[in-house]
A = this chain, B = another copy of it.
Amino acid sequence: MVGNISLGEYNLIYNTFSFTFAVMAAATLFFWFCRDQVSNHYKIAITITGLVTFIAAYHYLQIFISFREAYTLKDGVVGATGYQFNDAYRYVDWLLTVPLLLIELILVMNLSREQTIKKSALLGLAAAIMVILGYPGEMSSEAGTRWFWWFLSMIPFVYIVYQLFFGLRGSINQQPEQAKSLISGACILTVIVWCFYPVVFILPMIGFEGGNAFTSLQVGYSIADIMAKAAFGFLIFAIAKRKSELENSH
């Protein structure tokens, strides 16, 4: 979905993409460098945390390049070049990163091998299906089609939210006291931030039009991605570090 955008919108989108790329790249380096700050059995979780922001950094760079190919700003006037702005990068990114985000959270809980595999597979699969079902809706500018896929995509979404609030309750209770609130915090952050996506998705269906809809979608998704990947990842790192310190002090 592309529309005519104003000068202000052009600059806002332009700077948002550059900013998001910088955040994701910086977060990746932080996670990978500080991997040596956690115990051995949390290193895979922190590696994946950095992979998520790495994959996001790659896609935001591509989105940024694609945007600069689709629009020009010359003599103060924004013009469309006719070249495609490739919106699919986001969905390709999410298909990879959203299951990994849930796996991060499960890995940092340090459950039994059996539980880890089972919960990772179920939540990871649900996340992938959620992203796949959202895509045909996003590609459409017709409200009916968007709503149809939105509803389908909300089924796995609700399942994941339910799991984060109730399914993982038992596992969270087994966590050390000093890490429990951080892990609950990570679950709550996930639910709150993830609720952003279906809301941003429906903006074009509830009155936002043309350049306005395009801008709010791009900026909205970027902010949500920063929260869901970089800020969430930092919380995962804090959990792993806190738990490592507790374990070492025994």
In the complex, A82→B40 CA distance in Å? 53
Question: Could you say which of A41-49, A156-164, A165-173, A194-202 contacts chain B?
Answer: A41-49
Question: Could you say which of A28-36, A123-131, A141-149, A206-214 contacts chain B?
Answer: A28-36
The dominant DSSP class at the A interface is helix
Q: Would A96 and B43 be within 8 Å (CB), given that A15-B88, A82-B74, A84-B73 are in contact?
A: no
Is A18 part of the binding interface, using a Cβ–Cβ cutoff of 8 Å?
A: yes
Q: List 16 A-B contacts (CB under 8 A).
A: A11-B86, A14-B86, A18-B62, A22-B92, A25-B54, A26-B51, A26-B96, A29-B50, A29-B54, A30-B47, A30-B51, A33-B35, A33-B43, A33-B47, A74-B83, A75-B82
Beyond A22-B93, A74-B82: 20 further Cβ-contacts under 8 Å?
Answer: A14-B86, A15-B89, A15-B92, A19-B92, A19-B96, A22-B55, A25-B54, A29-B54, A30-B47, A30-B48, A32-B33, A33-B35, A33-B43, A33-B50, A34-B43, A34-B44, A37-B43, A72-B83, A74-B81, A76-B84
